[in-house]
Amino acid sequence: MTGQLRAAIYARFSTDMQRDASIEDQIRSCREYAARQGLKVVETYSDRAVSGASLMRSGMQKLLRDGRSGLFDVVISEGLDRLSRNQADIAQIYQSLLFAEVMIETVSEGAISEMHIGLKGTMNALFLKDLAVKTHRGLKGRALAGKSAGGLTYGYSAVHQITPNGDPIRGDRTINNGEAAVVRRIFQDYAKGISPKKIAEALNVEGIPGPQGGEWGASTIHGNRERGTGIINNSAYIGRQIWNRLRYVKDPATGKRVSRLNPESDWVITEVPDLRIIDDALWEKVRTRQGALKSKETGVPVWDRRRPRTLFSGLMECGCCGAGFSKVQKDSFGCSAARNKGKAICTNMTTIKQKDLEARVLDALAHHLMDPEAVTAFCEAYTAERNRLASAATSTRTTLEKDLATTKRDHGKLVDAIIAGVPADQVKDKMIALDARRKELEGQLAQADSSAAPVRLHPKMSETYRERVAALIRGLADSEGMEEAREAIRGLIEKIVLTPRADGSGLTVDLHGALASLLLLATGAPVHRIARMAAGGQNDKSSAGAELQGVDMIDKSVLVAGAGFEPAAFRL
């Protein structure tokens, strides 16, 4: 075995304007660089037509996972901007790979250091900002000219033309007669009083593809009137194009884009009579019906009303199609897809009374989950896993301590050099880098110490669990503590799967417990902490293992009543 360093190559191109061969060009360039540096290429990663402004890229995510697994020692890319153009993201990539002791080298910049991350990250961020301004300006010009400045709207087809010098002409559209007929049908049916979900059901039964090529849903038709979304709210169908109604910003927590409504003064409205599909009379009939559907009590439009909140709303799932269950009658739940998209998507029309569902689930939480035999098995498995992790942590700590000692020693040598007469400006950058490394290593050691002590779990915690669940259920009748008890109970549940019984006698209810939350309750954690996780959503539930140091390796498992800790559910 030689001491040759192992290298991974990453390549990316971001738009359809770049050639797909760009990936191969980048990889070839990186391979040549690796050969010159004496590196052995063991893996390649790539993302095609994906923006560098986000880390939500399959190739990049796989590279980071493999880097943490020790698959390679160096990442090679054509340039730092191929890894990311976002300043925060490139810093995150650098820190993640640095922690895994993986270096970054690029064909254009060579070995990457903190200086490159700061300077190039800033330059790339400014490039993105400048590109966004120029793109917005160009799109506004298209919109003012009556051309498409965004995605292609259902009911229209793109017109492909080129200029005499061979450049494509973008933004021209023409009416797609087949889709336009569907648009007119939707408007006419809605104006007659047919509900969006019935319209969607009929289109799905006939096999008519939706705007994205899939099924039709009620929301695709009614959308949001204020935001101009949904078929019946799109003013393009009356020959009026509205551009810049919405703007999109990236949520730094998820990396996903979210829309926000712009002030009406920023909208660009252009008349395009040649693209009219719906006449004014039909358009106004639809507007009139929408106005009539406002709630008499609140005045909230039907497209903005939220479903009535119940104890288990949002946790129920159809066992046939995976869609959610929602209120279909005053006191009953049913499959949303079966009612909104029709039998072509789901045939589960069986309902369950709210009172019956809540009684069955609460009884299971109180008497079946946290079975004593299952808890004993878990405690044994937990102890074994903690011993394995403790051994691994000891090895990691030894490595960190050695690195810290080396860093301090190197820093001390530079101080001695300055004392001996070496100009400080010659070693300043190296000293700053070593000091930053020292702080990083000290932080990693502190983190290792804080996570060293395992949570103490006892086989009899099932008794504590039952007592606390019973108290929570009683709290549902207490006006003061009702909300906290409700949210805490929701936090104990991963999902509730409802499937029709073969004999047609009702629904089978499969209850999946949220393991980390169940253990938190059983080990005496405050109720408000579990309630907060439930209120925060699924992401908070899945990270609840952080509250139980050492339990995070199983926080996505499902606690099974009476059947050990297997990925299954308790059937009611």
Instruction: Clarify whether residues 16 and 115 are in a common domain.
Output: yes
**Over the stretch 526-549, which tens digit does the pLDDT of each residue have?**
666 665 555 544 444 444 444 443
Instruction: Clarify whether residues 571 and 489 are in a common domain.
Output: yes
DSSP string, 512-535: EEEHHHHHHHHTT--HHHHHHHHH
Which amino acid, residue 418?
Answer: I
Instruction: Clarify whether residues 346 and 286 are in a common domain.
Output: no
CA-nearest of 270, 272, 23, 257 to 132 is: 257
CA distances from residue 311 to 80, 368, 511 in whole angstroms, order as listed:
50, 19, 14
* Any domain includes 422: yes
Cβ atoms of residues 485 and 478 within 8 Å: yes
- pLDDT for 375: 63
**Whether residue 333 has pLDDT greater than 80:** yes
Least confident stretch, 83-87, 121-125, 493-497:
121-125
Helix axes 177-192, 196-205, angle to 10 degrees: 140
Neighbouring CB atoms inside 10 A of 147's CB total 19
Percent above pLDDT 90 for the chain:
18
Least confident stretch, 113-122, 353-362, 445-454, 548-557:
548-557
**Whether residue 556 has pLDDT greater than 50:** no
Neighbouring CB atoms inside 10 A of 135's CB total 10
- Measured distance CA(489)–CA(473) in Å, rounded: 8
- The mean pLDDT value of the chain amounts to 75
**Whether residue 31 has pLDDT greater than 80:** yes
Instruction: Clarify whether residues 403 and 339 are in a common domain.
Output: no
In CATH, what number is assigned to the domain containing residue 185?
A: 3.90.1750.20
Of 450, 472, 493, the last residue of a domain is: 450
- Measured distance CA(145)–CA(172) in Å, rounded: 10
Q: How far apart are the first and last CA of the chain?
A: 58
Of 423, 450, 477, the last residue of a domain is: 450
Cβ atoms of residues 492 and 519 within 8 Å: no
* Any domain includes 152: no
**Please, which residues have CB within 8 angstroms of residue 376's CB and are 6 or more apart in sequence?**
459
- pLDDT for 122: 63
- Choose between 194 and 150: higher pLDDT: 194
**Over the stretch 176-187, which tens digit does the pLDDT of each residue have?**
999 999 999 999
In CATH, what number is assigned to the domain containing residue 25?
A: 3.40.50.1390
At 406, list the tokens.
């080396």
* Any domain includes 184: yes
Of 244, 277, 303, the last residue of a domain is: 303
H-run or E-run covering 321: none
At 446, list the tokens.
């502190």
**Mean per-residue pLDDT for 93-107?**
90
**Mean per-residue pLDDT for 328-344?**
89
Instruction: Clarify whether residues 406 and 385 are in a common domain.
Output: no
**Whether residue 301 has pLDDT greater than 60:** no
Instruction: Clarify whether residues 381 and 402 are in a common domain.
Output: no
At 119, list the tokens.
């300077």
Instruction: Clarify whether residues 256 and 387 are in a common domain.
Output: no
Neighbouring CB atoms inside 10 A of 211's CB total 15
- pLDDT for 183: 93
* Any domain includes 148: no
Cβ atoms of residues 7 and 74 within 8 Å: yes
- SS3 per-residue string spanning 213-231: CCCCCHHHHHCECCCCECH
Instruction: Clarify whether residues 373 and 434 are in a common domain.
Output: no
Residues in the chain: 572
Instruction: Clarify whether residues 195 and 286 are in a common domain.
Output: yes
Rounded to 5°, the CA angle 428-432-435 comes to: 135
DSSP string, 127-138: HHHHHHHHHHHH
* Any domain includes 134: no
Instruction: Clarify whether residues 103 and 203 are in a common domain.
Output: no
- pLDDT for 34: 93
Which amino acid, residue 169?
Answer: I
Buried-state track 339-364, b at ≥16 Cβ within 10 A, e below 16 = bbbbebbbebebbbebeebbebbbeb
Cβ atoms of residues 368 and 562 within 8 Å: yes
**Whether residue 323 has pLDDT greater than 70:** yes
Instruction: Clarify whether residues 236 and 312 are in a common domain.
Output: no
**Mean per-residue pLDDT for 39-55?**
79
Please provide residue 98's backbone torsions phi and psi, each rounded to the nearest 5 degrees: -60, -40
Instruction: Clarify whether residues 344 and 414 are in a common domain.
Output: no
- Measured distance CA(40)–CA(244) in Å, rounded: 50
pLDDT band at 334 (very low <50, low <70, confident <90, very high): very high
Percent above pLDDT 70 for the chain:
66
Helix axes 87-99, 58-68, angle to 10 degrees: 30
* Any domain includes 149: no
At 34, list the tokens.
């690796």
* Any domain includes 166: no
**Whether residue 75 has pLDDT greater than 90:** yes
- pLDDT for 565: 37
**Mean per-residue pLDDT for 197-211?**
89
Domain count of the fold of the chain: 4
- Measured distance CA(122)–CA(88) in Å, rounded: 9
pLDDT band at 8 (very low <50, low <70, confident <90, very high): very high
- pLDDT for 303: 46
pLDDT band at 254 (very low <50, low <70, confident <90, very high): low
**Mean per-residue pLDDT for 246-263?**
68
- Measured distance CA(53)–CA(12) in Å, rounded: 12
Which amino acid, residue 402?
Answer: K
**Whether residue 87 has pLDDT greater than 80:** no
Strands 257-261, 173-175: pairing kind: unpaired
At 398, list the tokens.
């030894």
- pLDDT for 538: 41
* Any domain includes 444: yes
% helix, strand, coil for the chain, step of 5: 50, 15, 35
Which amino acid, residue 301?
Answer: P
- pLDDT for 17: 43
Q: Which residues span the domain enclosing 440? A: 392-450
Neighbouring CB atoms inside 10 A of 190's CB total 22
Neighbouring CB atoms inside 10 A of 369's CB total 24
Query: Any idea which residue has 């104990």 for tokens?
Result: 492
